[in-house]
Structure 1
């Protein structure tokens, strides 16, 4: 049976179609999930895609984190459901309390849009097991509030527990603390990152195919579980 992976759409979501395409390229069936529903439709994992949910009013991701569908995501994530948050999705997961820290305005207050080199610092997550630790990949980055920040104790905990998953290589594009581009929950099932792996799944539309491993990894993780 083909694995089913949910992709949430909020008002202002831009990258749900790209995320669904990436899921399909990985060999799974994308399932559309609507922000106003309380039904995850029996999916094996969830992608919270990028965009500007609810226009990024208040703080980016703040309103979306309170949407009905997120009640279900939060409950199931705490039971072990793999969840991936990309860009605005990362902001939503932080606002929802599934990941620590916050994403704030980039240094210099500039929107950054470019192909970005990342290093995989952890393969012990549901979304990175198909990579090798230390592997460098290139995927697009496009964000205005992508600077990861957290308190010193939280940063120390993330580093000590190996929960920094993606790290910027070369110039830090937004002055994120410790060059952090993505992190994981303590159980490795929830991952958030600012760059966009769904835009790097085939050579026709992306700078590389490096992002596809994010989506194949979760198939491996769910099958193993």
Structure 2
């Protein structure tokens, strides 16, 4: 599925306009704006990215094309706004998790793994709870015009994780830690996307990704593991 989206992504002009034309300021305009996003999410679940069209969105929403084009220049701009909101919602879960003090990687190994597995599951649930959320995740990974939305989210989350770990472990190599947070954040997103295509492996993917990340950071920060020769 993702490969088919990627193949068709090449047909999309790289300079396609993605910015929202007009931010709604009145109640009626906000209702129309939100309706467009809601309907697009519903249609994504039904027909996918390739078949989705602005005419289809207008017909389902009961609005005219000029009403849609008042806010969005094309379907990719709508997808970008949905993706931006999804990433903000996912990022908020991570930021709250860090505020709860669950970003530490020392202490009992299994507890650290459990906390990271729980985070992956909570982030994944955000996409599942939004119409078309899983399709948007696929689209952001496959369509060049939407890839920056995911990249910006990775940078924001990695930055927050880096700051927490830098404070907690001041002796760590800052440059290596910076790269590590970017890498682990991107891998976490990839793992959650993999679950979409391999749902029967969800529990295993979640646990293995959490363990991989935890052990990676413990090695980077020279934290002994229970039962290892370092103890």
Q: Which one has more relative contact order, counting CA pairs under 8 Å at least 6 apart?
A: 2
TM over 0.5: no
| TM-score category of the 2 structures, normalised to the smaller one | under 0.3
When Rg is computed on C-alpha atoms for both structures, the one with the higher figure is: 2
Q: TM-score, normalised by structure 1?
A: 0.26
Q: Identify, as 1 or 2, the structure richer in strand.
A: 1
Q: Identify, as 1 or 2, the structure richer in helix.
A: 2
Q: TM-score, normalised by structure 2?
A: 0.26
